[in-house]
Amino acid sequence: MTPQLLRKYKYRLKTYSTLILSPRDHQGFYKAAGDFVPEDMQVSEHVNKKTVNIIYPFYQYGTYPRYSPAATQYYIPGSSIKGALPRIGAEEGKPSLMIDDIRVKSEDIQLYQLQKVQNISKEDTPTEIAEFFPNVAVEMLRADAEYAGELFYNMSKSKNKPECYFRETDQATKTKLKQLVQRINGIYNQVKKEEDMHILNELRTNIQAILNDSKTDSNNQFLFLLGGYKGLMLSAISTKDDYNSAIYLDKPKRLPHGLVQVTLEQSSE
């Protein structure tokens, strides 16, 4: 029997933009059910308390009868990071990778209303940036947050090192970001509002700047796209450049949701 060689790695995660990780089995907090009142929501320029009837939560341990972020234990599931690695478990031998959850401070979780580029496929209607579902607010991990975690990799089950899988995800992320830039180029002339044109131009510029600043393949830093509300272009690589796909954006940062940098380091322990 081949002895198991389990290696421990540490990784650091930094969010370039807001990260949306909502558990699918949680239906949200409802104002009509008495789960929250407007006063329960923190003061934020990103949320209109008068319109919000539903709050979708970030991943949290346990269940809570009411919306109470200060008393909630939030976390980033290790499975959300593992799920972004496309080849883990897909090759013969199924390499063993275990990624621990990361506890998240409640003060780093903020409420936002979703912003979406609307009317992309409607030729007779100007494309514009507007709130998507104004009655819904979503808990997100704020941009520019930094956290550290651990993973364990069974080297006896694969010839590859974890860096190979992280590098593959990095390259796929860059390809998806290039798809988004191409899509923005394609719809830019459909936008009529000067403010929206400015936002889309900054979105395109910021994405390109991150692509230009990406480290070389020999480095241990990798770009990931995590969580929800990314749209089709940022969820899969396509050979088409004209398909219809939603564009959601972190409006304050002028970036797509869920763009993070992961730094992988082998532990000396």
**pLDDT, position 232:** 77
- Both tokens of 27, joined, read 């239906």
Give the C-alpha separation, 199 to 157, whole Å.
47
Give the mean pLDDT per block of 10 residues along the chain (269 residues): 70 96 82 93 85 94 91 94 73 68 96 90 80 93 96 74 87 92 88 93 95 71 93 75 77 96 78
The one-letter amino acid at 262? V
- Distance in angstroms (rounded) separating the CA atoms of residues 167 and 161: 10
DSSP states along the chain: -PPP-EEEEEEEEEESS-B----TT---EETTTTS--GGGSPP-TT--TTT--EEEPPPEES--SS--GGG-EEEE-HHHHHTT-TTTTTSTT---EEE--EEE-GGGEEEE--EEEE-SS-TTS-BEEEESSTTEEEEEEPTT-EEEEEEEEEGGG-SS-HHHHHHHHHHHHHHHHHHHHHHHHHHGGGB--HHHHHHHHHHHHHHHHHHHHPPPTTSSEEEEE-SS---GGGTS--S-SS----EE-BTTTTB-TTEEEEEEEE---
| Beta-bridge mates of residue 223 | 261
Q: Are the C-beta atoms of residues 192 and 128 closer than 8 Å to each other?
A: yes
Residue keyed to tokens 């009837």:
53
Question: Which pLDDT belongs to residue 173?
Answer: 94
pLDDT for residue 26: 67
Structure tokens at 148: 């550290």
C-alpha torsion sign, points 35, 41, 45, 50: positive
Of the candidates 208, 184, 210, the one whose C-alpha atom is nearest the C-alpha of residue 197 is: 184
The Cα-based distances of 218 to 33, 259, 268 in angstroms read 53, 21, 20
The single residue listed with the structure tokens 């000067």 is 194
Determine the pLDDT at residue 15. Answer: 97
User: Considering the entire predicted model, what is its pTM?
Assistant: 0.89
Report yes or no: 150 and 10 within 8 Å, Cβ to Cβ: yes
Look at residue 2 in the predicted model and tell me its pLDDT.
Answer: 43
pLDDT (0 to 100) of residue 226: 95
Whole-number Cα distances in Å, 30 to 53, 73, 156: 6, 20, 49
